[in-house]
Structure 1
Amino acid sequence: MADQYDIIVIGAGPGGYVAAIRAAQLGLKAAIVEREHMAGICSNWGCIPTKALLRSAEIYGHMEHAKDFGLKADTYDFDIAEIVKRSRGIAGRMNDGVQFLMKKNKVDIIWGEATITRPGEIKVEASKKKPIEPQHPKPKTTLGEGTYTAKNIIVATGARPRVLPGIEPDGETIWTYFEALKPAKMPKSVAVMGSGAIGIEFASFYRSLGAEVTVIELLPQIMPVEDAEIAGLARKRFEKRGIAILTDAKVAKVDKGKDGITAHVELKGGEKKQIKAEVLISAVGVQANSEHLGLEKAGVKIDRGVIVVDGHGRTNVAGIWAIGDVAGPPMLAHKAEHEAVIAVETIAGKTVHGLDKSKIPGCTYCEPQVASVGLTEAKAKEMGRDIRVGRFPFVGNGKAIALGEPDGLVKTIFDKKTGELLGAHMVGAEVTELIQGFVIAMNLETTEEELMHTIFPHPTLSETMKESVLDAYGQAINI
């Protein structure tokens, strides 16, 4: 059978739909297979709807402090049903937007579950995946069950919440991020297991709306991938907001009762605690959706559930590629999107650099926000790098003070000999928007001298970035 397509993409999340669009832009005939919803977990159950919830919480928080800005808001409240409705509506818009982009770029949509029967061939069957909520209408023009062939198959099936034995989510008192995104009512108390981006964002959201929140982290540091100094400052802010935090703490078991859960927590040194809450949010990471795809039969190498790829998305089997969460950490939408472009352009015969994981930014949209790129101070020292470290607090920035956001820090790490920017780490207002400046600087191999001679607009939060660079070389002006 002649190949029907140049590329078939399995999965219509951020990696998958970007791959399909880029293929179409390059003149390749492309199709995308989706079993559940266009736009993937990120737009339907992750990145976008969580930011909608957090925006509502942020505005509510501003209302609580209206008098600090000379404003009067004596009566105000929130409606959790309306907050969730807004969030779900935004997710729906994203879903519809991706369907439009497929039509615009003449990408065929194949609705169902795909299995790779051999390199270059997939079989699509009706989806067995039960939607968590009613699906958005399927595109009017879709293909369905059948066998399809392509010169190249890109697996972009994403990941799902990791489940710990004995603490399986039940959708009632033990939640994953699916249930946490659409609570039927506002819980009075929440325990969060895990302090990565997902756990901390939900802890921040529910605390902003008045819930008693306890975060339980197995490791000694919350937000374990972040620079220790930044994570420590974030922790102080979280605790000041009333979030209780336990580190070096293991949830040994969870008892369910009619009024909620009791988490039995074992602390370092043998101490034990019981944490009672209406709900427990399990946020202990995600696992790749690499099963039931026919990968093993096709001979594709998988390591601990993750498809093994090179820097261009190639697996060990010619014609089979993988991108995004299913291809391993960091499991971030923007990493998936970038991998998609690299893989498709490689397939198209273009010369393209492989993925450089050291230049992938990470962002957590809690209150305060946290963002970073590159090496932490500890990692740089561990690697034997001779470094300079610069720091600049938000309290020295006029815009931060005017915003009522004086608590924050920008930290930069440079190679002492070459001036290479090795890493940047930030906590404070809008740092998730600021971090890209440092990402661009690293990508362009900018030195400290070039950053020092860059003019930053005044008054802006971005000035903290320049001051941090200046501080690394003993030249900070405003502190």
Structure 2
Amino acid sequence: MADTYDLVILGSGPGGYVAAIRASQLGLKVAIVERERLGGICLNWGCIPTKALLRTSEIYHYMQNAESYGLKADNVGFDLAKVVDRSRKVAGQLNAGVKGLMKKNKVTVVEGVGTVTAKGKLSVKQGDKTVELEAKNIIVATGARARDLPFAKADGKTIWTYRHAMVPTEMPTKLLVIGSGAIGVEFASFYNDMGADVTIVEMLPRILPVEDEEVSAFMDKALTKQGIKLLTGTGLEGLAPSGSGVTAKIKHKDGKVVEETFSHAIVAIGIVPNTENIGLEALGVETDRGHIKTDGYGRTNVDGIWAIGDVTGAPWLAHKASHEGIIAVEKIAGGSPHQMDKANIPGCTYSRPQVASVGMTEAKAKEAGYELQVGKFPFIGNGKAIALGEAEGFVKTVFDAKTGELLGAHMVGAEVTELIQGYVVARQLETTEAELMETVFAHPTLSEMMHESVLGAYGRSIHY
């Protein structure tokens, strides 16, 4: 006999486990099915452990440049095994935290491989045993996995995905990073700061192609200055293990194909949604290039089947998945949540320097037909940034000249991944330039640059 619930969630990543907690708060009887570890890829193999690694490389960079702060740090080095171990312990601590949250919120955790067998029915394989679950509503939150190159699958030895790159047993000496999105740039930044010779290959004309063009141009110069070799408008025609390394066939802008050998390569060319073999095809759930099609509440075309997170398409971000989960659960529980507005989802890249943005780029706003007021303020004009020794970067704001609506905000520099939330809140509250101008920002703070950028859009900047 099947165990019966109000809601069963397939997948316990940042979409699934957050949805489970909110459902429990709303009085629903909830079960969550997970085949690996609670917290999903983000907590165990993505967002969190990579930030632990990047924190290590940031401190290592500061130690190597201690003299610029009047300090001495001689014979600076690192123990790679301990660096990796710290990252894994951080992930483990948070995994235990999610377990505690499930227990606290009385969410039943069912370990195993889940398959939707019919509307309202889900089968979980646990080795030789199978557990049957029933629920009026099922949320699919199965996430995504790294996309392999069609001509070179990752082997974990010299050709890595992000997962291999987080637990290296040896330090790359000469590293090729394929793809310059957030994941590629973060790993390039980490390994470069730890001493590897890094090259990034990007097929598109610029790195971080989803960001504002000025941000991409700034990052190009900043990473090049740090010693990273950037090959944009460049294709990869072959990648194969070669001796103790890997040989790449790189097609440059001029059409010339050059062979170059690296010790390791990281493939960061996107993701593939985990929609296969979970029963969706038999139910007729509509997909688009593998991603489940949903409305603004997470509903699919099949009654009682919902989907959230990476499995539903871009942007592939943990906070987007969590918010989708809350929206879907509140709708299931009979509430009236706002539909998901992807335009208000911030994007962050935790490289050195950091990148953060929300809303339209200047180019996209122009394409949409807006008349613009654009403000830009540099880090070098901010007292706190200079005191920190982090005077490189800028804050850019894009406004509708007619209404004062904040169309987009784009930042590059120290701690901008923390600062961006101010603009996200402003957009959510439909704040105009008038309210932002009248807001008092504490001094001395990096956030003052946000104020100055708004003022600058209207010719009122004080310190620049």
- Whether TM-score is above 0.5 comes out as yes
Which residue in 1 is equivalent to 2:171? 186
SS of 1:465's equivalent in the other structure is helix
Structure 2 matches for 1:115-130, cutoff 5 A?
A: 115-126=115-126
Q: Is the 8 A contact 1:36 1:127 kept in 2?
A: no
SS of 1:145's equivalent in the other structure is strand
Structure 1 distance, partners of 2:450, 2:70, is 30
SS of 1:424's equivalent in the other structure is strand
Amino acid at match of 2:117: T
Q: Is the 8 A contact 1:35 1:127 kept in 2?
A: no
Amino acid at match of 1:404: G
Deviations 1:139-180 (A, max 9, x none): xxxxx7311100100000000001121121011010001110
Structure 1 distance, partners of 2:22, 2:77, is 45
Structure 1 distance, partners of 2:104, 2:425, is 30
Structure 2 distance, partners of 1:79, 1:338, is 38
Which residue in 2 is equivalent to 1:445? 430
Which residue in 2 is equivalent to 1:22? 22
Which residue in 2 is equivalent to 1:33? 33
Structure 1 distance, partners of 2:424, 2:178, is 31
Structure 2 matches for 1:127-146, cutoff 5 A?
A: 145-146=130-131
Structure 2 distance, partners of 1:274, 1:68, is 40
Amino acid at match of 2:131: G
Which residue in 2 is equivalent to 1:134? none
Deviations 1:304-330 (A, max 9, x none): 000000010000000000000001110
Q: Please state if 1:13 is matched with 2:13.
A: yes
Q: Is the 8 A contact 1:191 1:275 kept in 2?
A: no
Which residue in 2 is equivalent to 1:206? 191
Deviations 1:389-415 (A, max 9, x none): 100000000000000011001000000
Structure 1 alignment gaps of length 5 or more: 129-143
Structure 2 distance, partners of 1:41, 1:3, is 27
Query: What is the CA distance between 1:75 and its match in structure 2?
Result: 2.0
Structure 2 distance, partners of 1:37, 1:275, is 38
Structure 2 matches for 1:160-309, cutoff 5 A?
A: 160-309=145-294
Which residue in 2 is equivalent to 1:471? 456
Deviates more, 1:37-46 or 1:255-264: 255-264
**138, 153, 169: which one pairs with 2:138?**
153
**415, 421, 436: which one pairs with 1:436?**
421
Amino acid at match of 1:395: I
Which residue in 2 is equivalent to 1:383? 368
Query: What is the CA distance between 1:258 and its match in structure 2?
Result: 1.5
Which residue in 2 is equivalent to 1:85? 85
Which residue in 1 is equivalent to 2:321? 336
Which residue in 2 is equivalent to 1:403? 388
Query: What is the CA distance between 1:127 and its match in structure 2?
Result: 6.0
Which residue in 2 is equivalent to 1:137? none
Amino acid at match of 2:6: D
Which residue in 2 is equivalent to 1:457? 442
Structure 2 distance, partners of 1:126, 1:277, is 42
Amino acid at match of 1:411: K
Query: What is the CA distance between 1:273 and its match in structure 2?
Result: 2.6
Deviations 1:363-390 (A, max 9, x none): 0000000000000001001111111110
Query: What is the CA distance between 1:277 and its match in structure 2?
Result: 1.1
Deviations 1:183-204 (A, max 9, x none): 0011111100000011000000
Amino acid at match of 2:361: T
Structure 1 distance, partners of 2:164, 2:323, is 29
Amino acid at match of 1:453: E
Q: Please state if 1:422 is matched with 2:407.
A: yes
Q: Please state if 1:71 is matched with 2:76.
A: no
Query: What is the CA distance between 1:271 and its match in structure 2?
Result: 2.4
Deviations 1:91-117 (A, max 9, x none): 111111111111010000111111111
Kindly report structure 1 stretches of 4+ aligned residues shifted beyond 3 Å: none
Equivalent residues, number = 464
Which residue in 1 is equivalent to 2:308? 323
Q: Please state if 1:366 is matched with 2:351.
A: yes
Amino acid at match of 1:420: E
Amino acid at match of 1:176: T
Structure 1 distance, partners of 2:2, 2:58, is 55
SS of 1:436's equivalent in the other structure is helix
Structure 1 distance, partners of 2:237, 2:219, is 26
Structure 2 alignment gaps of length 5 or more: none
Query: What is the CA distance between 1:126 and its match in structure 2?
Result: 2.4
SS of 1:256's equivalent in the other structure is strand
Query: What is the CA distance between 1:272 and its match in structure 2?
Result: 2.4
Structure 2 distance, partners of 1:229, 1:115, is 46
Q: Is the 8 A contact 2:2 2:132 kept in 1?
A: no
Amino acid at match of 1:419: G
Structure 2 distance, partners of 1:271, 1:368, is 32
Structure 2 distance, partners of 1:50, 1:2, is 40
Structure 2 distance, partners of 1:184, 1:71, is 32
Structure 1 distance, partners of 2:428, 2:116, is 37
SS of 1:4's equivalent in the other structure is strand
TM-score of the pair, normalised by structure 1: 0.96
Which residue in 1 is equivalent to 2:53? 53
Residues 1:106 and 1:73: Cα distance change in structure 2 (over 3 Å): same
Structure 2 distance, partners of 1:331, 1:450, is 32
Amino acid at match of 2:64: E
Structure 2 distance, partners of 1:105, 1:377, is 44
Amino acid at match of 2:83: I
Q: Is the 8 A contact 1:196 1:223 kept in 2?
A: yes
Structure 2 distance, partners of 1:2, 1:114, is 14
Identical-pair percentage? 60
TM-score of the pair, normalised by structure 2: 0.99
Q: Is the 8 A contact 1:390 1:471 kept in 2?
A: yes
Structure 1 distance, partners of 2:377, 2:41, is 36
Structure 1 distance, partners of 2:262, 2:274, is 31
SS of 2:374's equivalent in the other structure is strand
Q: Is the 8 A contact 2:152 2:239 kept in 1?
A: yes
